[in-house]
Structures are given as structure tokens and as C-alpha cells.
Amino acid sequence: MGRTINIQTTITFENIMNSKSRVVHNIGGTRSSKSYSALQYCIVKAMESPHNITIVRKTIPSLKRTVMKDLKDILTHLELWHDNDFNITDRIWTYNNSSIQFISTDDAEKLRGIKSSILYIDEASEIDEEAYFQLAIRTSGKIILTYNPTISPVHWLRKMEDCDRYITTYKDNPFLPADMVKAIEELEFKSPKKWLIYGKGEYAPNDASIFQFDLTDKLEGELIGYGMDFGYSQDPSCLVALYKQGDTLTIQELLYERGLITNDIITKLRGFGINREEIWCDSAEPRLIEEIYRGGFNAKPVKKGADSINFGIQVLQNYKLLIYSKSQNLINEMYSYQWATDKYGYQLDKPDGGLDHAIDAARYCAMMKLTKQNQNKGVYAISVR
């Protein structure tokens, strides 16, 4: 005879369980139990009846640090963890006729081979809409999304319809230690913006963003050139245009698309009406650059020196940045682009890469067109009396 297991849950677990919508958004501040509760839901469903459940984050290391660790903690507490039930290589936990598999969006081909009855995406704001689409169309049942409210106003998550949205805060987690509650509540006075996001669970600009920028509906100033970053199956190929007016730089996203071969890119460039203006490209793809050049465009490889990423960031930070309002993917990148941190939470001197394809394209053009060394190239200065 089986034993009865009592699982301590929060309102987030009840929200997911009671939602009648196929897609459930769990938006919340820090320590609101949104991720932990979503994982509890997946475990319960796996134990109640046969399910193929897929749990997703952007990278394998982030999976191991968070939901995979939490899975073992929850099952250990319930006295249900057995090492033989978890396949470390494939990252699959099995229980009777159910399975919970952990995957990252780094493997684009694997996304197309996944079939799930339940899908849970932790930190959904880290992945792009195409990855979500590939996972969603292969999921027959409920889709659970958890994330912090630091996404841009035009992010695909905020535009999604036909879903339930639940906002929770640390106050919805009765199991939170008193000292942690105190630390969160101190944010109200120490950092009002962080208090909005992590304390109250409200949408607000990302305080940790590398770039400060505004949106504009106008393209004003001189076109100084284009920047291009290449991708294919996993990452998009991106093209941006840069306009300079005084100390203001306006960036426009023109292309952000996966699966493009050289001829596709050339066709796109012709459609944008680009003639002999300079297109500064990722130098890691010399063959692709040469093919675009032979297609009639002034494509050039960017010159990357030591620490070129930070240098390019500094060049862009020298200007007041405006992002053209229809540049949805670029806006999403600009909101989420922030400095990386170590395991203790201390900021590192490098950006947290991943969602930075259009930003890289902008860096390439800025480095080659907006530094004094490159602006003065081809000019010999002589003093006369």
C-alpha cells in the first residue's frame, strides 16, 4: 500500500494548478517561489499520471545551478530521490511511466526533436520567440513560463495573448526566512527601482543594463554605415543602421532572421536599398563577407583588437543612444544586456553574452566609424604658418 505525501505549496502552485489557460505566466520578484512552485507542479503531474515533461533554460550551467538542483532537493525532502532514477548524461528523471527532461536552447536541433505533454521554461525572458515557438508547437498540454519583470515593453512575452498572468512577490512565499524578508524590504529605501522589480514584482527598466537609451520614431542625422552579425540555425543574422547627429546616435534594426544563406542575405540587402555604403561585418566569417562583397556590396571585416567587446561598448556609451521604435529585437537586447556576475553576485568586467546579436552588429560599425583613429584614417595633417 502506497503512502500519502504532503507537499508544502504556495499560491503560485495553486495558480498553475487551477489555471484553465494552456499558457501560464508566473511573473514575480525575488524569492516569490515562482520557479520552485512550477517545478513542484511538474513533479506532481509526473507522479499522478504518465507525462513527458520538458524543463528548459537558456544554458546547461544555469539548468544545473537552479531547476536541476531544486529537483533533487524537492525529491530528497519527499524521500523520493534515487540516484538510479536520474540519467546524468541525458539529464532525464524517470518515475514509473513519466519523465522530466532538462534541455537548453543552446542546441537548436534538439528543440525540433522534443515532444512534450507539459513544458516549463524557467527564466523565459532569456530565450527568444523562435525557440519558444519550436518548443510550444511540440507540446500537447500546459506551458508554464516564469520570469522577472525586467523585460522591455515590446518583448514577445508581454505581447502574448490567450494566457493567464500571475504576479507574485516575496509576500506570497510563507517559507521565506525573516532575515531574507528584511533584506528584500530594505530595497524600498536603498534602491527604489530594484524594489519595484524584486520587491513588488512590477515592470521596470533593468537597473543592471549596460546601455541607457530612449526610443524614437524618427531617423535623423547622417547615416554613417551599417553593422552586420552572422548566424544561421541557432543565432540570427542581424543588420543595423547607425545615424549620427551631434552627440546623438540612432540605431535601427533592419534584419534579424535565422536560416539565411548568402544569397538570401544579398537579396535582403538589395531590398533595403543599400548601395555602396560600408557594411562592417563579423570578421569571423571571411568567406561570407567576400561573397556579399562579390554580390555588389561594400562589406568589410571589422578589426577586432584586444578586449574589443568592452571597447565597442565604450564607444557606444560615448553617445546619447536612441533606438528606432520598430526595432523590437534590438530593444529586447538593449534591455537585457548587462554585466556578468560571479557566483557571489559581484559584477565582472565583461557582459553577460547570449542575447547580443544586434548589439554586436552595432558595435562593429561604431568601432570602425566613431573612433578618432578610424575617422582620421586617410588624412595627413600638417601645420602651416
pLDDT given at position 341? 73
Compute CA 315 distance to the chain's CA centroid, rounded to the nearest angstrom.
Answer: 23
The model's pLDDT over 245-286, given as tens digits with 9 standing for 90+, comes to 999 999 999 999 988 999 999 999 999 999 999 999 999 999
In this structure, the answer to whether residues 170 and 29 fall within a common structural domain is yes
The answer to whether residue 383 sits within a structural domain is no
In this structure, the answer to whether residues 269 and 225 fall within a common structural domain is yes
How many domains does one find in the chain? 2
In this structure, the answer to whether residues 81 and 18 fall within a common structural domain is yes
Q: Which residues of the chain have pLDDT under 70?
A: 1-2, 107-109, 205-208, 342-346, 372-385
pLDDT given at position 199? 86
In this structure, the answer to whether residues 236 and 324 fall within a common structural domain is yes
The answer to whether residue 1 sits within a structural domain is no
pLDDT given at position 378? 47
Find out whether 16 and 143 touch, Cβ atoms under 8 Å: no
In this structure, the answer to whether residues 329 and 283 fall within a common structural domain is yes
pLDDT given at position 242? 98
Which range marks the domain in which residue 189 is found?
11-199
Q: Which of 174, 199, 224 is the last residue of a domain?
A: 199
The answer to whether residue 357 sits within a structural domain is yes
In this structure, the answer to whether residues 186 and 261 fall within a common structural domain is no
In this structure, the answer to whether residues 253 and 138 fall within a common structural domain is no
In this structure, the answer to whether residues 19 and 99 fall within a common structural domain is yes
In this structure, the answer to whether residues 41 and 173 fall within a common structural domain is yes
In this structure, the answer to whether residues 168 and 92 fall within a common structural domain is yes
pLDDT given at position 205? 65
- Domain of residue 131, CATH code: 3.40.50.300
The answer to whether residue 325 sits within a structural domain is yes
Q: CA 185, CA 358: separation in Å to the nearest integer?
A: 37
In this structure, the answer to whether residues 21 and 159 fall within a common structural domain is yes
The answer to whether residue 384 sits within a structural domain is no
Q: Which of 170, 199, 228 is the last residue of a domain?
A: 199
Joined together, the cell numbers standing for residue 353 give: 553574452
pLDDT given at position 15? 96
